[in-house]
């Protein structure tokens, strides 16, 4: 018999939960039985996520946070501990893609902002999460990667560099935390029809030779659930991908 609530009794912290992939995972994990601490910078978006979870009789808390500020991130985990008694699963979904120019034409401040959010933000999240996960005897960290972190793409230097660094950080964390029963894996969703992608579908199809799967955020959920429900002696330091091309 299929377990309709495979995350019952678990507590998840989801960054970037105000919209897009993070919101879809937060709502889906709550439906799967987890208590969810939802965090993002925009309080109104977080309120909408929590409202949808609670309307379906799920448990959730909204905590506004800027992942580039480590103290802000630490407060999120303290609130999750206070509200739900611990943390078992962390999904580092907060991300930014604000530069789409050649290196020569890029704005240094925006380039740095992308790195700060996509790479330093995940470092802050993991740094704050690890003590809480260890107190539970283990758990899962899922990082939201990108095919651009594995293969270069012209005009995407900031985003590609941030995601390449994220993939290395994922592997280092997996090595450091294996003995503590904390699995750290990368989820590469491929193109998802978020605000960043919409209107650029033809460009992305051309890059992928026309065969890429353009998906809605909700279609990433099943893979996130698969990773989060693996045994703690299971895969770590791996990339799980929904792309229809080589990474």
Structural domain includes residue 78: yes
Give the chain's largest Cα–Cα span: 57
The reported pLDDT for the residue numbered 213 is 76
Query: DSSP string of 55-124?
Result: HTT--EEEEE--TTSHHHHHHHHHHHHHHHS---EEEE--------S-TTT--HHHHHHHHIIIIIHHHH
Query: How many Cβ atoms are within 10 Å of 168's Cβ, its own excluded?
Result: 11
pLDDT digits (tens, 9 = 90+) for 140-155: 999 999 998 998 888 8
C-alpha to C-alpha distance for 184 and 170, rounded to whole angstroms: 6
CATH of the domain at 91: 3.40.50.720
pLDDT digits (tens, 9 = 90+) for 91-149: 999 999 888 899 999 999 999 999 999 999 999 999 999 999 999 999 999 999 999 89
Percent of the chain with pLDDT over 90: 80
- Helix%, strand%, coil% for the chain, nearest 5: 45, 15, 40
Which residues, in sequence order, are CB contacts of 89 under 8 Å at separation 6+?
7, 10, 11, 12, 13, 29, 34, 139, 140, 141, 142, 228
Q: Which residues are catalytic?
A: 159
Structural domain includes residue 213: yes
Structural domain includes residue 6: no
Structural domain includes residue 1: no
The count of domains in the chain is: 1
Structural domain includes residue 2: no
Q: What mean pLDDT is predicted for residues 168-178?
A: 98
Which residues, in sequence order, are CB contacts of 192 under 8 Å at separation 6+?
20, 21, 214, 215, 216, 217, 219, 220
| 3-state SS class at 3 | coil
Structural domain includes residue 223: yes
C-alpha to C-alpha distance for 38 and 23, rounded to whole angstroms: 8
Min mean pLDDT across 39-48, 56-65, 151-160, 196-205 is at 196-205
The reported pLDDT for the residue numbered 191 is 83
Q: What mean pLDDT is predicted for residues 20-49?
A: 97
Domain with 163 in it: 11-241
Element (H, E) at 203: helix 201-207
């Amino acid at each position: 018999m299929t377990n309709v609530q495979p995350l019952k009794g678990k507590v998840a912290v989801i960054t970037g939960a105000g919209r897009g992939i993070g919101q879809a995972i937060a709502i889906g994990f709550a439906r799967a039985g987890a208590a969810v601490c939802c965090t993002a910078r925009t309080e109104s978006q977080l309120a909408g996520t929590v409202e949808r979870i609670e309307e379906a009789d799920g448990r959730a808390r909204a905590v506004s946070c800027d992942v580039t500020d480590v103290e802000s991130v630490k407060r999120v985990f303290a609130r999750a501990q206070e509200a739900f008694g611990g943390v078992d699963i962390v999904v580092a979904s907060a991300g930014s893609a604000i530069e789409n120019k050649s290196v020569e034409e890029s704005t240094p401040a925006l380039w740095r902002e992308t790195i700060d959010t996509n790479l330093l933000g995940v470092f802050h999240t993991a740094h704050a999460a690890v003590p809480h996960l260890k107190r539970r005897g283990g758990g899962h960290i899922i990082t939201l990667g990108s095919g651009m972190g594995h293969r270069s793409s012209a005009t995407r230097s900031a985003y590609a560099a941030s995601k390449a660094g994220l993939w290395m950080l994922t592997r280092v964390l997996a090595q450091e935390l294996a003995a503590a029963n904390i699995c750290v894996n990368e989820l590469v969703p491929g193109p998802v029809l978020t605000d960043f992608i919409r209107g650029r579908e033809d460009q992305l199809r051309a890059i992928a030779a026309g065969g890429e799967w353009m998906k809605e955020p909700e279609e990433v959920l099943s893979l996130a659930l698969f990773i989060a429900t693996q045994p703690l002696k299971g895969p770590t330091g791996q990339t799980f991908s929904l792309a229809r091309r080589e990474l």
